[in-house]
Amino acid sequence: MDLRTAGAALLDWYDLNAREMPWRVGPAARRAGVRPDPYRVWLSEVMLQQTTVAAVRAKYLRFIALWPDVAALAAAPDAQVMAEWAGLGYYARARNLLKCARAVAGGRGGRFPESREELLGLPGIGPYTAAAIAAIAFERPETVVDGNVERVVARLFAVETPLPQAKAELTELAARLTPEARPGDHAQAMMDLGATVCTPTAPACGICPLTGPCRARRAGAAGDLPRRAPKAPKPVRFGYAYVARRADGALLLERRPPKGLLGGMLGWPGSAWDGDPAEAPPVAAEWAAVAGEVRHTFTHFHLRLSLRCATVPLDARPERGSFVSRADFSPAALPTVMRKVWDLAASAWP
């Protein structure tokens, strides 16, 4: 395979087909001399980890409106950032986002480092994000490999090794494609190609700029690659969630511990989540079981929550959590699983 020709064809395709994204400097603007803002590249890449472009777009615009630069984000209150992050999941990312913003705004005078090695030293920046920022924001010839790129490379080189075992091999092959010139555009072109042409189930080989050299296309095996090792089934955990409404309409909420699942996020008080949890009401009340259950899937397990609701008097003294007035309560500030609990509670109450 002539990798130089393939890389040039990919960049030509990108020049015509680059997706428009609010954080992206497109190829035409880039040619006109516009430079990407490292803050925006970093923010978008952290948001995009484990999340789709569609889910990130509105959140990103809201973050940029609230905090247009790293100094503004670094100065933001933790609770406000966590509330704005709600719904994106993987909340450790939001905590690390703040830590990183404060490290850059404090110790580095607001300037992100340019090399992958230095970027890796910042909180919440792993190998993928470091490579993406170095390539896209600073034109460093780094190889950026996300799920889309893995798929394109596995097909291009007809890699039969299943994922995740194939990761190192795919990264090495992707590095062979990475050019010295325009590495940022190349990285984004690979991502766009995977997202829009070399899609998981229906690759559009007829319009693909890599169709000539693509080995999987020649072998008629594109749809079978990349291969994946069978996943172990996720366990199911159970729990109770408690929604207490005070006589004045205030709701009992609890901020979760800073570390661990949903760390630092607001939520409804609840029991442990395990195979056979014990009830753990946060305040003495006549709790009513609500029909139905809340189902939510985390990375490593499925969760099923039984819901208990109660109306409590004005002088109720909860053992955990604190009351939030209805005027100050925003379901949008809750993580998704807690929002599902609220939806079920709200539908059960008259």
Question: Could you list the residues that contact ligand SF4 (CB under 6 A)?
Answer: 152, 155-156, 197-198, 203-205, 208, 210-211, 214, 216-217, 222
Kindly list the catalytic residues: 45
Q: How far is the CB of 210 from ligand SF4 (least distance, A)?
A: 4
Alpha carbon distance 295, 305 (integer Å): 6
Q: How far is the CB of 183 from ligand SF4 (least distance, A)?
A: 19
Q: Which two tokens stand for residue 137?
A: 């924001």
Question: For residue 69, which phi and psi values (nearest 5 degrees)?
Answer: -145, 175
Q: How far is the CB of 152 from ligand SF4 (least distance, A)?
A: 5
Q: How far is the CB of 230 from ligand SF4 (least distance, A)?
A: 23
- Total Cβ atoms within 10 A of residue 152: 30
Beta carbon nearer to ligand SF4, 203 or 267: 203
Whether 89 contacts 51, CB under 8 Å: yes
Side-chain-facing half-sphere of 145: CA atoms under 13 Å = 21
Beta carbon nearer to ligand SF4, 27 or 203: 203
Beta carbon nearer to ligand SF4, 153 or 262: 153
Q: What is the CA radius of gyration of the chain?
A: 24
Residues 6+ apart with CB under 8 A from 315: none
Q: How far is the CB of 2 from ligand SF4 (least distance, A)?
A: 15
- Total Cβ atoms within 10 A of residue 218: 13
Beta carbon nearer to ligand SF4, 214 or 290: 214
User: Can the peptide bond before residue 141 be classed as cis, meaning omega within 30 degrees of 0?
Assistant: no
Q: Which two tokens stand for residue 36?
A: 């990407």
Beta carbon nearer to ligand SF4, 3 or 103: 3
